Amino acid sequence: MTSKPKVESLDTIVSLSKRRGFIFPSSEIYGGFASCYDYGPMGVELKRNVKDAWWNKMVTMRDDVVGLDCSIIMHPKVWEASGHVANFTDPLIECSHCKLRVREDHLEFLDQKCTSKNKEHSWGEPRQFNLMFKTNLGPVESSSNTVYLRPETAQGMFVNFQNVVDSSRVKIPFGIAQQGKSFRNEVSTRRFTFRTAEFEQMEMEYFCREEEGEELFKYWRENRLNWFKDLGVSQSRLRLRDHKPDELAHYSRCCSDIEYLFPFGWSELEGIAWRGSYDLTKHSENSNKNLVWRDQASGETFTPNVIEPALGTDRAILTFLTDAYEEDEINGNKRTVLKLHPALSPIKVAVFPLLRKDSHPEKSREVYKMIKSSYAATYDESGNIGKRYRRQDEIGTPICVTIDHQTFDDDTITVRDRDTLEQQRVKIDALKGFLFEKFKF
């Protein structure tokens, strides 16, 4: 079976995101600011839900992973030891006619023609361009106080390895997980939030013995792929791609990407890498601190290997939004619906009085208050009921509850399901139990 992207053009998602308050261009009143985006009222809820779903699966539900939240600006020696100062570069090439700069290894995706009259692009020699943003700590700009905005969260886990071991009861194999902002001065940042200068990552370093590496690498590939499937991403638009030997960094034992079929083609969503003992060894050498695991029982000492699943939060959000997008027809009317997994939906339940003037707002507000004490809910009495349903469908609200005339006769309300469009009457007393079953994830 050949797979097809869920939507033909990314513009569909860009426009829905703007219209419904998921994602806005940054500083839009000043004409927007390339490479940066802002999450609106719906986007911020979606983002929190994505991060919670990840944290829940990777930390809360496990006994062998602990969390960390470390600073974005770290000692500059961290980035020397990790190799980022010397090697975190992309090959930059420039067209001598129109001055367009692109990544040499991204040329195959370039759809921008040379803007100089009647000319083809003429590319110069590649220059290595470091992706780290530099700034200065303190009031004086000098090379002695140069610091970097972190380009990944991973190094925080390596430099805190000993702190975590000493302060918690972890036993190898164990993981340290972190979510937070990272920054990369990317050569080209197109494709909406797929590649931006400022983004969030959710990364975990799983420390283990070398002989466990292969097994655990396979385990984490599957585990991470299943996270997307469990959250409703279509299996036919997800695949694992193993890196070829010539793609691997010299220290990397194995690496696989989870790829998603975006409207612009298969692209990396998450990387899972078996990094050997490279990172801890480098930090041990550069800090003169012995970052090793000591087995209490046997007295054995060794530098652990690490398996790293590294995901971009914004790429995950773009994937969930794209994969959930559908257009269908109800009674001859077109509808746009986001079939988001309920765990990710910004709003779980919308409450409406059928007709503002007839159905006592007090009753509707009472039901709304009851739901809101347990679930993200919204109350809407503007426009006709059809419009209200459309609004909720477009932001992916799984359940709409309507208070109507019959509510006053038998204490029931209408519950409407976003995906099946089925409507059923449920007693107000039973509503909490009904929602509990629906949102059991």
CB closer to ligand ATP, 184 vs 190: 184
SS3 at position 210: helix
* Torsion angles phi and psi, residue 11, rounded to 5: -55, -30
- Nearest CA to 229 among 308, 161, 323, 93? 323
Q: How far apart are CA 99 and CA 110, in angstroms?
A: 14
Comparing CB distances to ligand ATP, the nearer of 121 and 275 is 275
- Written as six digits, the tokens of 168 are 């918690």
- What are 425's strand-pairing partners? 414
Backbone angles phi and psi of 407, in degrees to 5 = -55, -35
d(CA 412, CA 410) in angstroms, rounded, equals 6
The C-alpha atoms of residue 217 and residue 255 are separated, in whole angstroms, by 9
Give the nearer residue to ligand ATP in terms of CB position, either 121 or 195.
Answer: 195
Residue among 405, 416, 412 nearest 431 (CA): 412
Nearest CB to ligand ATP, comparing residues 165 and 273 = 273
* Rounded Cα distance, 383 and 143, in Å: 61
CA dihedral 72, 78, 80, 84 (to 10 degrees): -50
Cβ proximity to ligand ATP: between 43 and 312 the closer is 312
Nearest approach, Cβ of residue 190 and ligand ATP (Å): 11
Interface residues toward ligand ATP, by CB under 6 A: 152, 184, 186, 195-196, 199, 201, 268-271, 310-312, 314-315
CA distance 98 to 10: 26
Closest approach, Cβ 32 to ligand ATP, in A, equals 17
Cβ burial, residue 67 (10 Å; 0-12/13-18/19+):
middle
User: Looking at beta carbons only, is 14 or 347 nearer to ligand ATP?
Assistant: 14
DSSP 8-class letter at 137: S
By DSSP bridging, strand 23-25 and strand 254-262 are: unpaired
List CB contacts of 258: < 8 A, sequence separation 6 or more: 221, 224, 225, 228, 238, 239, 240, 268, 269, 270, 271, 272
**Residue 174: both structure tokens together:** 């164990």
Q: Which residues contact 369 (CB under 8 A, 6 or more apart)?
A: none
End-to-end CA distance of the chain: 30
Question: Which strand (E) or helix (H) includes residue 391?
Answer: helix 385-395
Give the nearest residue (CB) to ligand ATP: 312
Q: Whose Cβ is closer to ligand ATP: residue 206's or residue 375's?
A: 206
For ligand ATP, which is the closer residue by CB, 164 or 202?
202
- State the helix-helix crossing angle for 361-372 and 428-438, rounded to 10 degrees: 40
Per-residue tokens: 178: 């972190």
Q: How far apart are CA 220 and CA 222, in angstroms?
A: 5
- What is d(CA 51, CA 206) in angstroms, rounded to the nearest whole number? 19
